[in-house]
Amino acid sequence: MTRDTFSAPPVGWAVQIAALGYYLPERIVTNAELEESLQLKSGWIARVTGVEERRYASPDETSLFMAKQAAERALASAGLTLADIDLIVGASAAIPQMIPCSAALLQRELGGQDGASFCFDINATCLSFLVALHTIAPLLSTGVYRRALIFSSENRSYSLNPDEPESATLIGDAAVAVIVTATPAAQSSCLHHARFATFGSGANFTQLRGGGTRHHPNDPTTLPEMNYFQMNGPAVYRMAATVLPPFLDNFLTAVGWERAELEAVIPHQASGHGVRYIAARCGFSPEQVIFNLPKRGNCVAASLPLALAEAVESRRIRRGNRLLLTGTGAGLTIGAIALTW
């Protein structure tokens, strides 16, 4: 973690998350329900994962349906219509289909005018939202695009492996959308710095092997279990515990911020142990760390923006606050964004 690129001076972009919207499936799934169906001891799920309940999407609550609800709420909150958006970015791990991109499907679902917006997807699993925000920030701050809609919509409950109870009981479904613009005059919103790093030796720790060319659905050697989500939680935790603290040390040094100056730290809600680790080992107080995992579970790419949206909704986060958004994703990838809300 001593490479020069990690200590390079940040280049800030004057962009603002102008509005947020989110959607939660109607069905609440309790630990008692899962412990009975998976034949687990009472209290096992809360102790191992930190989750108390999560939402599961119904067959009618497709990822596109959830994305549409979240996007419409974000647009309404911003006082905009889709005609005001010229960039749509999908930032999800669970996509409706391989081709075309989910953003194009959402443009159509929302009734968008042909040719009025550019659409593309970014898939960095749990860090998809952060990577998308980092990617479009210079495009908006320099005026290439006026307003962007980023959405993360996850209904991973359909691909959970009942033989892997830790991950099967950890994941929840949700969708989040945000409107991003150049920062209005006289406001302080800014994306100050972003940094990501991948440690490919951990690539097998989190995976879904099916669906691609390696294990094609039409290949007779493709097994049903290849289409299940797999995660070696302890291995992810051990690697993250090694690489994340020095990464964040270098990151905050580059930004020039002290930990005490942060109003909030919004981590990817990986697990109860993972979020508590952010506070204990990385030098943040429990009061700084936004934690919604007990009621939402790990919502994959929607997890971090959902925690952000709920914190903004409750006014835990206000304009002018200094925020650190950070987490891990498959790869194993770690990342962070420093921004003034």
User: CB neighbours (10 Å) of residue 17?
Assistant: 22
CA gap 125, 302 in Å, rounded? 10
Give the span between the Cα atoms of 141 and 12, in whole angstroms: 9
Residue 323 φ/ψ, nearest 5 degrees: -125, 145
| Annotated catalytic residue, options 101, 126, 282, 299 | 126
- In the 8-state DSSP scheme, what is residue 148? E
CA trace torsion 200, 324, 295, 27 (10° rounding): -70
- Residue 161 bears catalytic tag: no
Cβ neighbours for 34, distance < 8 A, ≥ 6 positions apart: 40, 45, 168, 169
298 is catalytic: yes
Show Cβ contacts of residue 292 under 8 Å, excluding neighbours closer than 6 positions: 269, 306, 307, 310
Catalytic residue among 250, 268, 282, 292: 268
Q: Catalytic one among 31, 123, 292, 298?
A: 298
Tell me which H or E stretch contains 199: none
**Active site residue ranges:** 126, 268, 298
